[in-house]
Structure 1
Amino acid sequence: MKTSNIIIIALAVLILNAGITLVLINQKEINAPASTTTIVDPSLNQRHNEITAAVQLIEPAVVSVNVTKTQLVRPGFGFSIFDFFGDIPIQRQVVSIGSGVIYDANGYIITNAHVIEGATEIKVVLPDKREFIANVVGVDNTYDVAKLKIDGNNFPYAKLGTAKELLIGEWAIALGNPYGFMMSDPKPSVSVGVISALNRSFQPQDGHRYINMIQTDAAINPGNSGGPLVNVKGEVIGINTFIVSGTGDNVGLGFAIPIDRVKSIIKIL
């Protein structure tokens, strides 16, 4: 029994000493300078490609353009309070949404003229959630281009490329805010397609002239108007403007104004 007790006591001392040693070691580790270990997901590099690189370049410069307008509406069913006044139009405030792209660090923005048509107030929301009231610098209604300005500097901005050397079949990346009212996150949506055709021309009855447009099957939906179409270098090659669709939703027939025409217009606005 005495021998057993001695063994048990010895083990207890060893365990206690081991515990003290562990505590001391751990304490030294806590007091030692912290070392940084970076764990790299090997699949991350495999998934990173020229398209994701282009999106990372352009995304901070793509903005939401929220437009407040005053509309005249005629009282209809459910407006019995207005029956005393007959069929007299009433005014109401409505908000529509489009997209734009900052092209200068001082806060100059390109969008479509039809996006801001009739605006009483234009609010620009950046992907980082900053909001600004924009001023209209100039509008070209014929070619559907508008130039806006927000106060400030050091804004992220996009590089304006060229559409002169585009190849049918090359990648095209569309960014904007389709159905932006449904989303609380102001970061733009991204869709990818190809350059489907070049030099498509339209002259609708509203007076706009759409000449030598870029056709793409990258998804463009309501709210995308005014956003950039970019190449795999992250350079703006066009401004997304309209789609041809029987439903109003994307069917793979989207059209963008070539950026070369846009650049020539904003210089004189």
Structure 2
Amino acid sequence: MRLSGPVSPASFLSALSRIGVLAATTALLLPSSPHDALAAPEPATLPATAAAAMPMRGAPDSFADLAARLLPAVVNVSTTQTVKGDSDDEDEGGGDDQGPQIPSFPQGSPFEKFFHDFMNRQNAPNSPPRKMQALGSGFIIDPAGYVVTNNHVIRHADRITVTLQDNTVLPAKLIGHDDRSDLAVLKVESSHPLPFVTFGDSDADRVGDWVLAIGNPFGLSGTVTAGIISSRGRNIEQGPYDDFIQTDAPINKGNSGGPLFDMRGAVIGVNTAIYSPSGGSVGIGFSIPSNEARGIIEQLRKTGKVSRGWIGVRIQDVSQDIADGLGLKSAKGALVAGVEPNGPAAKAKLQTGDVIQGLNDKPIEGKALPRLIADLPVGSQAHLKVWRKGAAVDVPVTIGSLPEPKAEETPDKKPDAAKVEKSVNLSMFGFSVGSITDDARHKYDLPADQKGVVVTDVTDGGLASDRGVKAGDVITEVQQRTVTSPADLRKGIDAAQKEKRKSVLMLVRDQDGLRWIPFPLDGDGH
């Protein structure tokens, strides 16, 4: 649930039973010059032995001086959006509270009927357009009037206004936004330089350090809350570049886009999301680290868009089952589940089944690879340490530019009278497969050029079912060997058993793409 959703009684009540999303940024107040607004201080380092000897630091006597210094640079962001009664795109991009929601009332109660009738009138196909308002937060990063907020705060807005701490209301212009990181940059015009904050080094602060969050929760402007960094490197499945700071500083609906400050007054995160069964703060909030946000914001200021490094691979984490199937000693690295044709990885001869263990001499962990690649300059060369079929190889790859998503084309289906091969029942794994015939392509909506074998039946409660395999999924490889028939799949399984592998790996294509799935060969798969 976006925390900066429209302000209406219905949506507010509905928000109390859902999970919220908001955003924040890290900053430092009043640097020596405007050009330093996006410059980060050098990170402080501390030897491990010194950490043990360091005396414990208690809570500050007061946050008042720090809050007074930072509050003028934190702003409220208000948007107005025209919503049509027959609009079909209100949920586009995950904004699940773009329109009013019906609260839960006892069945048959007068309140239930009232809200039901009200919503029917509002959402009728011929109902007139209506104005919806939303409130969020932001912060000024330059005295010239550049403001950082969340993309979901200003998404689909017809008009954006920014309210300063002294209640000055200024119209705002959208300079640029980025869906993938949920960041946006606004510009306001003022007759005098505005107070501003700067980014700090989010890597320098540790779990347990104190932080302040300032924003506009539930429309209550200039709210200051305090807490600690609860964890780092959180992946909350918001996108491929998740690396959130978790904090217990209370943040709520309307804090989206506000800053998370360290005790030096530097912005170390942009408050973006919360986990909450009730819709209010339960002490689990998430912020985009400043070290990730800084580069994105600088690109948005200069060009209005973001260019990211890309090599064109689909990857997944290496589980222990996968490591066993590949003969790896430890479950580390990023397993290549697919290679984009004609992409940088394909040109560098990366293969499905490769395990990327290092990037530019630094070890990597699983799904961190897209984020690390995205930070590399387009056109630069990177070196990947790749484990391939029992040997480590160095693979140089030229970083490409992340392409814009393209609409998928549905190929024409022209069934013929091809003979259907007999299915093979892999009862030990709980599924059956058959050849990909024209009838199978038509039945399961498979592309005309799809290769492999198709899953024709899955046993409820079996190994395949537990691993998310469904009828219509396609197995394209087994143990990194191409599968073109059920017999190929059977041979691959038999070979893995003869090699006394603990598990056999199958490359499976489903509606979400390719992924490697390990199936245990020792009979214990649960």
TM-score by length of 1: 0.73
Alignment CA distance shift 1:242-1:133 (3 Å): same
Where does residue 187 of structure 2 map in the other structure? 149
Deviations 1:44-100 (A, max 9, x none): xxxx85632321221100000001011223696148989xxx743542101000000
2:153 corresponds, among 115, 126, 138, to 115
Q: Which moved more, 1:158-167 or 1:226-235?
A: 158-167
8 Å CA contact retained: 1:227, 1:240: yes
2:121–2:127 Cα contact (<8 Å) kept: no
**141, 161, 166: which is aligned to 1:103?**
141
The runs of 5 or more residues in structure 1 that have no matched partner are: 1-47
| Residue 158, structure 1, aligned to residue 170, structure 2 | no
Q: Is 2:117 the counterpart of 1:77?
A: yes
SS of corresponding position for 2:282: coil
State which of 216, 226, 238 in structure 1 corresponds to 2:257: 226
Work out whether residues 73 and 89 of structure 1, in 8 Å CA contact, stay in contact via their aligned partners in 2. yes
Tell me the distance in 1 between the aligned counterparts of 2:74 and 2:150: 14
Which residue, out of 198, 210, 227, partners 2:232? 198
Choose the corresponding residue for 1:263, options 248, 269, 294. Answer: 294
Pick the structure with more helix per residue: 1
CA shift digits 1:81-134 (9 cap, x unpaired): 89xxx7435421010000000010000010000000010000100001111000
Give aligned-pair identity as a percent. Answer: 37
Deviations 1:184-203 (A, max 9, x none): xx4x1000000000000122
Q: 1:62 to 1:80 in 2, by over 3 A?
A: closer
Instruction: Decide whether the 8 Å contact of 1:195 with 1:214 is kept in 2.
Output: yes
Give the match's secondary structure for 1:77: helix
Structure 1 counterpart of 2:70: 58
1:202 alignment partner, SS class? coil
Q: Is the 8 A contact 1:102 1:156 kept in 2?
A: yes
Aligned amino acid, residue 215 of structure 2 = G
Counterpart of 2:165, as a letter, is P
The 3 A distance-change label for structure 1 pair 174 and 210 is: farther
TM-score by length of 2: 0.38
Question: Per chain length, whose mean CA-contact separation is higher, i.e. which structure has more relative contact order (CA < 8 Å, sep 6+)?
Answer: 1
2: CA distance, partners of 1:221 / 1:194? 16
- Aligned counterparts of 1:256 and 1:174: Cα–Cα separation in 2: 10
Structure 2: which 5+ residue stretches go unaligned?
A: 1-59, 87-114, 301-526
The 1-side partners of 2:125 and 2:193 are apart by: 51
Matched, 1:217 2:248: yes
Q: Which AA in structure 2 matches 1:143? A: S
User: How much has 1:267 moved relative to structure 2?
Assistant: 1.1
Q: Residues 232-251 of structure 1 correspond to what in structure 2 (within 5 A)?
A: 232-251=263-282
Distance 1:109 1:168 in 2: 28
Alpha-carbon contact 2:85-2:125 (below 8 Å) kept: no
Letter in 2 for 1:119: A
Shift of 1:171: 0.2
Q: Which has the larger radius of gyration?
A: 1
Give the AA of the match of 2:297. Answer: I
Alignment partners' CA distance in 1, 2:273 and 2:236 = 11
CA distance in 2, matches of 1:81, 1:215: 41
Number of residue pairs matched by the alignment:
213
- Supply the AA of the counterpart residue of 2:299: I
Instruction: Find the residue that maps to 2:242 and give its secondary structure.
Output: strand
Runs of 4+ in 1 over 6 A off after TM superposition: 79-82
Q: 2:163 aligns with which of 107, 120, 125?
A: 125
8 Å contact kept, 1:53–1:234? no
